[in-house]
């Protein structure tokens, strides 16, 4: 019995050992042959997974001039879990960092992730890249990653082209595409078309030796994923017009917006003072951004989209259209201007004793009395409206239909809507006791009316198109210059009948031929315009001019405002006229005027 039991126990032990051996062999076979994940983990110290960042899409102007391109750059990355004792002194020296800064950067990377790569130093120079690449053995846990930098061949259009910078936590939470160290468009076209311009990231897996040197692609690139370059964009800007406009606005504060009325395409959009967009590129970007942000002239502020100004006498065009539509005036009806202006009790809205005027001559001479009286009569029309609130709301609806007091919601980031108060605002302000004379200054573009230069340019497009506008936008094609952007192509009609625009446009022609805007005349081109002097409670008045050319077949509308420039005829008028001349003729013959405008300074 004992010998039989002993033999059985022997066989049981052998069987158990055999089963364990088979299990062990199966596990090893699975780890080493079937499951590549274990193999990858075993080789983690020898493999490096590198993100391939695609080059961003290029940006061209409407005539194929390159406005934004890419230049090679290098980022130094760190993987905290792979860090070992390294040559801190050499790293500090080549990157011009202190030991404390190095420690702080490593702590930030560790907080983000111990095993994922983080950006340690961005956009290092080619010289520094060469030195670090040769001494990678002295910096375990670090590696260099190829990147691209945005470059601008012309120092123009900074506000509208925008800039890119490193993502923050909010960006990463909003879109999982982004990781620490990635770049994202923060303003302008770069922001509005980020998903188009950014492309698609790839990945490469490389072998690394014990000295932290890359030895080539792993598995002949079988696990690599190619990056896809960003899509190029053709914007609506005319580079030469933009450049010329910025030259004319040098040493001045203000804005110019030019639009092709039939398409709503923005031909130039200038905010002055501006800055060279190359300042916000590379390692100098943080320092330069602070410098620009602290500049009292506010060069980062986009006056074309974000500044609200009293429109001045150019607003008379909109009020004239409403008066015609409401049958408050006809093209031939006359209002008198005498006694020094429009009288409201002891208060006088001053004018020049223009005599008896119809709407043509009222626009020509920019008569305050005429437009105050017309505005008062619009709000006092009790045959049509039972009270001031109803009349004012109808007037405001007309203004909204011409694009005022609203955002266009196109591809122009950070656009503001300006401000034209509602009837409820005045009810509260005046305790429900107000009439047309209480707010009559809005009839001549003063008082509570505040608009952006973009909105004023858009109103000119409505006049040029005899009743409609297409929402102003900045990108005309994506992917190919002939792949037109049709997202913003719908016509938005105002509440004004077409024949009234013909009347107002005739008055604008008279402004230029024999009125306050004679300085806008261009040889061989019929120009329509309107001067404006916008009162400014903080200093000298703003110089304003609105232009349409050619008047008989409009191809460009321009709104120009120069802060503290005084009368519209003196500064804004010639600047707008010179811009129209160079756009339509591709050259300027009035070189003396050009020289004078370039040398003029209001800083």
Q: pLDDT tens digits for 360-416?
A: 999 999 999 999 999 999 999 999 999 999 999 999 999 999 999 999 999 998 999
Q: What is the fold of 47-235?
A: Penicillin-binding protein 2a (Domain 2) (3.90.1310)
Q: Report pLDDT for 448.
A: 93
From the number of C-beta atoms within 10 Å of its C-beta (0-12, 13-18, 19+), residue 349 rates as: buried
Q: Where are the domains of the chain?
A: 2-42, 47-235, 239-274+302-599
Q: Identify the residue whose tokens are 């090893």.
A: 28
SS3 letters across 238-303: CHHHHHHHHHHCCCCCEEEEEEECCCCEEEEEEEECCCCHHHHCHHHHHHHHHHHHHCCCCCCCCH
Q: Tell me what pLDDT residue 587 has.
A: 95
Overall pTM > 0.75? yes
Distance of alpha carbon 277 from alpha carbon 68, whole angstroms: 10
Q: Is 103 left (phi over 0), alpha (psi -120 to 50) or beta?
A: alpha
Fold for 239-274+302-599, please state it: Beta-lactamase (3.40.710)
Q: Residue 95 to residues 89, 248, 284, 577: CA-CA distances in angstroms?
A: 10, 41, 13, 51
* Ranges under pLDDT 70 in the chain: 1-8, 11, 28-45, 210-214, 603
- Please give the pLDDT value at position 1: 47
CA distance 98 to 21: 57
DSSP state letters, 215-230: EEEGGGGTT-B--BPP
pLDDT score recorded for residue 94: 83
Distance CA(270)–CA(268), nearest Å, equals 6
Average pLDDT of the chain?
A: 90
Q: Tokens in use for 218?
A: 């792993």
């Amino acid at each position: 019995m004992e010998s039989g039991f002993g033999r059985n126990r022997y066989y049981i032990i052998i069987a158990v050992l055999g089963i364990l051996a088979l299990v062990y062999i199966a596990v090893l076979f699975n780890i080493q042959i079937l499951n590549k994940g274990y193999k990858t983990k075993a080789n983690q110290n020898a493999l490096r997974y590198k993100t391939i960042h695609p080059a961003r899409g290029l940006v061209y102007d409407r005539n194929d001039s390159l406005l934004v391109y890419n230049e090679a750059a290098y980022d130094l990355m760190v993987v905290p879990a792979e860090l070992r004792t390294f040559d801190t002194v050499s790293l500090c020296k080549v990157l011009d960092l202190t030991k404390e800064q190095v420690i702080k950067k490593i702590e930030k990377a560790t907080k983000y992730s111990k095993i994922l790569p983080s950006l340690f130093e961005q956009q290092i120079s080619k010289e520094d890249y060469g030195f670090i690449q040769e001494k990678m053995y002295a910096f375990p846990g670090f590696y260099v990653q190829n990147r691209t930098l945005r470059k601008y061949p012309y120092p123009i259009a900074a506000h509208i082209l925008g800039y890119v910078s490193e993502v923050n936590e909010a960006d990463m939470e909003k879109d999982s595409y982004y990781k620490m160290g990635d770049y994202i468009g923060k303003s302008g076209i770069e922001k509005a078309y980020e998903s188009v311009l950014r492309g698609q990231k790839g990945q490469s897996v490389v072998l690394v030796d014990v000295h932290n040197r890359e030895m080539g692609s792993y598995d002949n690139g079988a696990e690599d994923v190619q990056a896809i370059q960003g899509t190029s964009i053709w914007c609506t800007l005319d580079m030469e017009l933009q450049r010329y406009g910025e030259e004319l606005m040098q040493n001045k504060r203000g804005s110019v917006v030019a639009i092709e009325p039939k398409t709503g395409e923005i031909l130039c959009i200038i905010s002055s003072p501006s800055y060279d967009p190359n300042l916000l590129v590379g390692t100098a970007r943080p320092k330069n951004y602070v410098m620009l942000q602290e500049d009292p002239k506010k060069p980062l502020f986009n006056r074309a989209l974000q500044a609200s100004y009293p429109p001045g006498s150019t607003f008379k065009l909109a009020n004239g259209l409403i008066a015609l539509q409401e049958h408050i005036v006809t093209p031939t009806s006359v209002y008198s201007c005498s006694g020094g202006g429009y009288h409201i009790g002891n208060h006088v809205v001053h004018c020049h004793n223009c005599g008896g005027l119809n709407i043509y001559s009222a626009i020509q001479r920019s008569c305050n009395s005429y437009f105050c009286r017309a505005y008062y009569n619009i709000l006092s029309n009790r045959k049509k409206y039972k009270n001031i609130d109803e009349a004012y709301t109808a007037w405001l609806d007309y203004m909204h239909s011409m694009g005022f007091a609203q955002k266009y919601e196109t591809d122009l980031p950070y656009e503001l809507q300006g401000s034209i108060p509602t009837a409820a605002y005045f009810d509260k302000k005046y305790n429900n006791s107000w009439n047309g004379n209480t707010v009559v200054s809005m009839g001549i573009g003063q008082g509570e009316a505040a608009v952006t230069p973009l909105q004023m340019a858009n109103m000119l497009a409505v006049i040029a198109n005899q009743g409609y506008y297409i929402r102003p936008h900045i990108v005309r094609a994506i992917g190919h210059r002939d792949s037109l952007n049709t997202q913003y192509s719908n016509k938005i009609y105002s509440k004004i009948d077409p024949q009234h625009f013909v009347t107002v446009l005739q008055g604008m022609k008279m402004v230029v031929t024999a009125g306050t805007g004679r300085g806008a005349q261009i040889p061989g081109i019929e120009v329509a315009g309107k001067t404006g002097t916008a009162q400014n409670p903080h200093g000298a008045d703003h110089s304003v001019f609105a232009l349409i050319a050619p008047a008989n077949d409009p191809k460009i509308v321009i709104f120009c405002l120069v802060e503290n420039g005084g009368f519209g005829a003196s500064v804004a008028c010639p600047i707008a006229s010179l811009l129209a001349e160079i756009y339509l003729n591709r050259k300027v013959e009035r070189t003396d005027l050009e020289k004078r405008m370039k040398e003029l300074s209001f800083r």
